[in-house]
């Protein structure tokens, strides 16, 4: 049965070659007069993109300051630095040049500047909701997190090791400039981690026990097949523009909520379990998801069997006959084979980490605290379930 839903995807997308030349004009349309440009550890500077973005702002008569040095699994101290800068320069618009980490840092700064009387971390600790947020936009350089059109924002508190998400439509970006050419400088590991993240945003919404629609399934399955096909292409031909374009657009559609319309909001426990890996071990988000998903899938599949069979048939192309259990397992196995074929890990050892039993218990405690009542839809996980999944992911070969 289809659940009621609201679909809100207001971000203007400017997609294709040369898209960055019009940034100043678009920013002006959305009222920007004093922009804080947020970027990462150097890739945007090295490629010359940052210069082109700033030239476009300059040509449109828009003042700007730069805040560089955002790292993957972006840190709260950089957010505070941005809030201090924004106050000093009267920032009225945030422009991220980069991926999920730069965009999420810009979103968090935008929340902080809109309500300077509060500590922005309270949003991520879920002790209050935001009432306001400054406008945010992005120039995307990696297809992965989907933050360029999503309501999500994920920040790591480096003092406590907590990596936490805050989701709110207030931070949906005003516009996203997406030129697939920018992504050609990515190392293969980052390209493929991005592909996994895109797939996982779709799969989190697909493996549910609450509400499904044929149209949503068709979009999700088509998106997954397209990403798999083009991830393999890019593994062998990293300069393939069309494959990069397919992946980049898929990244936005996978996380702007389109593939969740009509269901209960999705499972999202692979993400929640992975966020603890990111907080404790600073792993690359997409690779962490690939490493945890097979153990999660085997642990929960009995409780969501029809969806796993559907997935095995329609996404992984399993045609063999057998019991539902056997078909579901064949689908999971095929996914593992696919991840390995693009150089992605399928367990924690392959991810390069070996958590102790104590660390696993700590991650389960933190995950439970972060999730509150929302511990899954395919199967609602308890603390013990989480410990089993982490342990299986650590012990599997």
Which is closer to ligand NZQ, CB of 73 or CB of 91? 73
Q: At what angle do helices 188-206 and 214-236 cross, to 10 degrees?
A: 170
Cβ atoms of 206 and 311 within 8 Å: the answer is yes
Q: Which stretch binds ligand NZQ (CB under 6 A): 19-27, 72-80, 259-267, 347-355?
A: 72-80
Task: Please classify residue 95 by burial: count the beta carbons closer than 10 Å to its beta carbon, then call 0-12 exposed, 13-18 middle and 19+ buried.
Answer: buried
Total interface residues for ligand NZQ by CB under 6 A: 35
**How far is it, in rounded angstroms, from Cα 29 to Cα 285?**
34
State in angstroms the smallest separation of the CB of 181 from ligand NZQ: 9
State in angstroms the smallest separation of the CB of 235 from ligand NZQ: 16
15 contact partners, CB below 8 Å, separation of at least 6: 178, 179, 245, 248, 249
Q: Which among 237, 338, 336 is positioned nearest to 292, based on CA atoms?
A: 336
Which is closer to Zn ion, CB of 181 or CB of 197? 197
Q: In terms of DSSP bridges, do strands 154-157 and 162-165 run parallel, antiparallel, or are they unpaired?
A: antiparallel
Is residue 53 at the binding interface for ligand NZQ, with CB under 6 A as the rule? no
Which is closer to ligand NZQ, CB of 94 or CB of 328? 94
State in angstroms the smallest separation of the CB of 11 from ligand NZQ: 12
Measured over the CA atoms of residue 272, residue 273, residue 279 and residue 285, the dihedral's sign is negative
Q: Classify residue 135 as left (phi > 0), alpha (psi -120 to 50) or beta.
A: beta
Q: Among 20, 162, 197, 350, which residue interacts with Zn ion (rule: CB under 5 A)?
A: 197
Which is closer to Zn ion, CB of 146 or CB of 262? 146
Which is closer to Zn ion, CB of 50 or CB of 250? 250
Which is closer to ligand NZQ, CB of 73 or CB of 263? 73
Residues 132-171 that bind ligand NZQ (CB under 6 A): 141-142, 144-147, 150, 152-154
**How far is it, in rounded angstroms, from Cα 37 to Cα 335?**
38
Q: Residue with CB nearest Zn ion?
A: 197
366 contact partners, CB below 8 Å, separation of at least 6: 162, 276, 279
Interacting residues toward Zn ion by CB under 5 A: 197
Interacting residues toward ligand NZQ by CB under 6 A: 40-44, 72-74, 98-102, 104, 141-142, 144-147, 150, 152-154, 182-183, 185-186, 190, 194, 197, 255, 271, 278, 285
């Amino acid at each position: 049965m289809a659940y009621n839903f609201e679909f809100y995807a207001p971000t203007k997308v400017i997609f294709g070659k040369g898209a960055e030349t019009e940034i100043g004009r678009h920013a002006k349309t959305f009222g920007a007069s004093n922009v804080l440009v947020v970027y990462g550890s150097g890739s945007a500077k090295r490629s010359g993109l940052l210069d082109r973005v700033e030239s476009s702002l300059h040509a449109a008569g828009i003042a700007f300051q730069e805040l560089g040095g955002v790292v993957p699994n972006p840190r709260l101290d950089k957010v505070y630095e941005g809030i201090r800068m924004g106050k000093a320069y009267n920032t009225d618009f945030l422009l991220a040049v980069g991926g999920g980490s730069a965009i999420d840092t810009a979103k968090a700064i935008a929340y902080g500047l809109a309500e300077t009387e509060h500590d922005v971390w309270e949003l991520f600790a879920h002790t209050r909701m935001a009432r306001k947020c400054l406008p945010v936009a992005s120039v995307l350089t990696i297809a992965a997190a989907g933050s360029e059109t999503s309501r999500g924002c994920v920040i790591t508190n480096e003092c406590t090791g907590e990596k936490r998400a805050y989701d709110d439509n207030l931070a949906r970006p005003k516009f996203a400039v997406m030129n697939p050419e920018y992504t050609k400088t990515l190392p293969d590991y980052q390209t493929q981690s991005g592909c996994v993240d895109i797939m996982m945003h779709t799969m989190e919404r697909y493996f549910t026990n609450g509400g499904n629609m044929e149209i949503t399934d068709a979009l999700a399955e088509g998106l997954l097949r397209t990403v798999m096909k083009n991830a393999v292409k890019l593994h062998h031909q990293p300069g393939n523009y069309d494959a990069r374009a397919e992946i980049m657009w898929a990244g936005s559609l996978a996380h702007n909520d389109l593939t969740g319309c009509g269901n209960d909001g999705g499972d999202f426990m692979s993400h929640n379990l992975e966020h603890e890996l990111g907080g404790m071990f600073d792993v690359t988000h997409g690779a962490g998801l690939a490493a945890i998903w097979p153990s999660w899938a085997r642990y929960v599949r009995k409780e969501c069997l029809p969806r796993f069979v559907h997935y095995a048939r329609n996404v992984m192309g399993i045609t063999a006959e057998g019991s539902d259990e056997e078909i579901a397992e064949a689908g999971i196995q095929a996914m593992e084979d696919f991840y390995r074929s693009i150089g992605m890990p399928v367990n924690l050892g392959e991810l390069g980490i070996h958590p102790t039993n104590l660390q696993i218990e700590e991650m389960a405690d933190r995950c439970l605290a972060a999730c509150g009542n929302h511990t899954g839809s395919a199967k609602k996980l308890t603390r013990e379930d989480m410990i089993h999944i982490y342990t299986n992911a650590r012990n599997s070969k």
